[in-house]
């Protein structure tokens, strides 16, 4: 079995940069783009970018390509001019301490006997303490009066044996020097192989971290085609014509009900990535209901809906109605660029220019609804 190696590679945060994903988020101007919090937390965590070399070796079957570091030869130890031999074994005991320990034990035994004979109340506690001291004294006395053995060691010279050891050492020393020459040659070759292997393992690390990222962006929402009568904005169908031209039919969804534990949400459009499994909720925000003339989609009015989609690991793009009317093709291109950045944050950026529109308050939408009403009359 080939041993694993530890390879020093570049800082993984420099190998692959997923934090470019955060640059597409926009909460101040339309188009509004929201990224799930759990995804942001992952790509901002340095641990997300760490992967051990051995993990890559196992994951991609690179064990046969990993160079094995040569084992450095062990330098032989020069023998001494003498060696230790076993001397006499002496048995002894401590007589003076033994007598003291016996007397102390007898004393505590006598005191314990006197106190415990007629003990009552708090004296019971005292008698228990004295009994413990007596037992301890007894153990110490037995230990002190036990026999001990001590073996002495002495150094003795054995010239014939020392000579043999010296000759053996010289042979081992010569072999060691030859082995060190071979070791240095192998280390030079190993360093070259290691550089080549590092160049091989680095793109695999990028691939592994990227695959880990793709697992994190998969959406958790469930949806189905709805037969309910879904109220649509005045310009949704006209924008749909542009979306159909821009996106594959199996990735663009309309008239979908996203099931929650309470009821259902009806997104204007859903983009479902066939390859990577992420979902984008695409919404068109009007300022007011055209029929009822009441403000809608004003600041904070869609928080509950947004939060649900984000908690289900779903991305959100919100356009203002004016944007899809005036720049429908640019809006489609913007969606494509967001898809590209989500799919490959380390490669793509947003380039499409769309006129920015500031989100409106309830009061602003209310006045615009009233102005429109008066004009219609």
pLDDT tens digits, one per residue of 337-363: 999 999 999 888 899 999 999 999 999
pLDDT tens digits, one per residue of 269-312: 999 999 999 999 999 999 998 888 899 999 999 999 999 999 99
Supply φ then ψ for residue 118, to 5 degrees. -125, 40
pLDDT band at 195 (very low <50, low <70, confident <90, very high): confident
What's the pTM value of the predicted model, to 2 decimals? 0.67
Q: Which helix (H) or strand (E) holds 59?
A: helix 53-59
pLDDT band at 58 (very low <50, low <70, confident <90, very high): confident
Residue 268 in this model has a pLDDT that exceeds 70: yes
Residue 186, judged by CB atoms within 10 A of its CB (0-12, 13-18, 19+), counts as middle
pLDDT tens digits, one per residue of 104-117: 667 766 666 666 66
Residue 1, judged by CB atoms within 10 A of its CB (0-12, 13-18, 19+), counts as exposed
State what percent of residues in the chain have pLDDT above 70. 74
- Structural contact between residues 163 and 81, judged by C-beta atoms closer than 8 angstroms: no
- Structural contact between residues 366 and 339, judged by C-beta atoms closer than 8 angstroms: no
Distance of CA 373 to CAs 132, 299, 321, 367, Å? Answer: 99, 22, 18, 10
Task: Name the average pLDDT for the chain.
Answer: 82
Q: What is the mean pLDDT of residues 148-170?
A: 69
pLDDT of res. 3: 33
Most confident of 11-20, 74-83, 199-208, 248-257: 248-257
pLDDT of res. 229: 66
**Other Cβ atoms within 10 Å of 158 Cβ, number:** 13
Taking the chain, what is the end-to-end CA distance rounded to the nearest angstrom? Answer: 87
pLDDT of res. 163: 80
């Amino acid at each position: 079995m080939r041993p694993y190696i530890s390879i020093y590679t570049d800082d993984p945060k420099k190998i692959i940069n997923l934090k470019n994903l955060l640059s597409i988020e926009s909460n101040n101007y339309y188009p509004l783009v929201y990224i799930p919090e759990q995804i942001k937390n992952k790509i901002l965590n340095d641990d997300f970018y760490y992967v051990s070399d051995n993990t890559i070796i196992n994951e991609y079957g690179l064990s046969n390509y990993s160079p094995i570091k040569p084992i450095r030869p062990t330098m032989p130890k020069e023998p001494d001019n003498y060696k230790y031999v076993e001397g006499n074994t002496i048995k002894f005991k401590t007589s003076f301490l033994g007598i003291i320990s016996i007397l102390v034990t007898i004393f505590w035994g006598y005191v314990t006997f006197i106190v415990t004979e007629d003990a009552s109340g708090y004296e019971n506690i005292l008698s228990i303490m004295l009994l413990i001291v007596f037992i301890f004294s007894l153990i110490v006395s037995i230990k002190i009066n036990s026999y001990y053995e001590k073996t002495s060691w002495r150094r003795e010279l054995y010239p014939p044996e020392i000579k043999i050891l010296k000759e053996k050492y010289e042979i081992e020393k010569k072999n060691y020097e030859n082995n060190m020459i071979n070791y240095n040659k192998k280390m030079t070759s190993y360093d070259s192989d290691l550089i080549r292997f590092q160049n091989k393992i680095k793109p695999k690390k990028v691939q592994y971290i990227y695959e880990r990222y793709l697992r994190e962006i998969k959406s958790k929402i469930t949806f189905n085609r709805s037969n309910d009568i879904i109220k649509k904005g005045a310009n949704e169908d006209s924008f749909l014509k542009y979306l159909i031209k821009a996106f594959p039919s199996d990735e663009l969804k309309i008239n979908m009900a996203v099931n929650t534990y309470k009821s259902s949400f009806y997104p204007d459009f859903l983009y479902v990535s066939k390859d990577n499994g992420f979902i984008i909720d695409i919404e068109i925000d009007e300022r007011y209901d055209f029929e009822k003339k009441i403000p809608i989609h004003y600041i904070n009015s869609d928080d509950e809906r947004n939060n649900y989609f984000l908690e289900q690991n779903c991305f959100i793009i919100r356009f203002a109605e004016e944007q899809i009317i005036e720049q429908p093709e640019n809006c489609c291109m913007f969606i494509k660029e967001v898809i590209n950045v989500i799919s490959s944050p380390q490669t793509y950026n947003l380039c499409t220019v769309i006129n920015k529109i500031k989100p409106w308050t309830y009061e602003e939408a209310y006045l615009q609804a009233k102005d429109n009403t008066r004009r219609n009359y």
